[in-house]
Amino acid sequence: MTAIIQTLDTTDGPFTLIADADGAVLASGWTSDVEAMRNRIHPGLRPEGVREGETAAADAVRAYYDGDLAAIDDVPVRQRGTDLQLAGWKALRRIAPGAPLTYTGFAARLGSPRAVRAAASICARNAPALFVPCHRVLRGDGTLGGFAWGLDVKRALLAREGGTLL
């Protein structure tokens, strides 16, 4: 399978996304490194090749950066993982802009309030960043915690969405 790759300029730096033939985003993030993006995709979904092109998801990214925070909500994504990971990625998409959760709060939404490490792992293994907004999860003390694309990007995304640190 060959997928489409596209890199956009954003105020937070280059944003690259890889979408499959159906338009579902397999991976995305703030880098222009094609191999880094490919490597974030689960091996069972990883395309054999990528070609540059225009994706429908790019329009949603542009709209998001123009202030339409809901533009990313309906962009299809495709990930492969355990049942808990799949449930977690789905739950991440339901965290409203401007209303970040702690890892404990996120774990509670998954029905396991003590599974904080699992909640953090779900965020860390999230390939289609922005579309599955793992940046909306913070440490229990309200600090940023980690983010694959850097804390400056996470801080900027939360500020754009009107989210405040807890």
Q: Do both 57 and 29 map to the same domain?
A: yes
How many domains does the chain contain in total?
2
pLDDT at 121 over 90: yes
Residue 117, both tokens: 């490490």
Residue 14, both tokens: 């280059």
Is there a domain that residue 28 lies in? yes
Q: Do both 93 and 153 map to the same domain?
A: yes
What CATH number does residue 49 fall under?
3.30.160
Is there a domain that residue 78 lies in? no
pLDDT digit string, tens, across residues 42-93? 999 999 989 999 999 999 999 999 999 999 999 999 999 999 999 999 999 9
Q: Do both 67 and 99 map to the same domain?
A: no
Is there a domain that residue 13 lies in? yes
Asked if 25 and 18 count as a contact pair (C-beta separation under 8 A), the reply is yes
pTM to 2 decimals?
A: 0.94
Domain that holds residue 32: 2-72
Domain boundary among 21, 39, 72: 72
Domain boundary among 45, 72, 99: 72
Domain boundary among 46, 72, 98: 72
Q: Do both 43 and 111 map to the same domain?
A: no
CA 107 – CA 104 distance, rounded (Å): 5
Grade residue 113 by pLDDT with cuts at 50, 70 and 90.
Answer: confident
Is there a domain that residue 105 lies in? yes
Catalytic positions = 134
What CATH number does residue 146 fall under?
1.10.10.10
Q: Do both 108 and 135 map to the same domain?
A: yes
CA 140 – CA 126 distance, rounded (Å): 20
Grade residue 152 by pLDDT with cuts at 50, 70 and 90.
Answer: very high
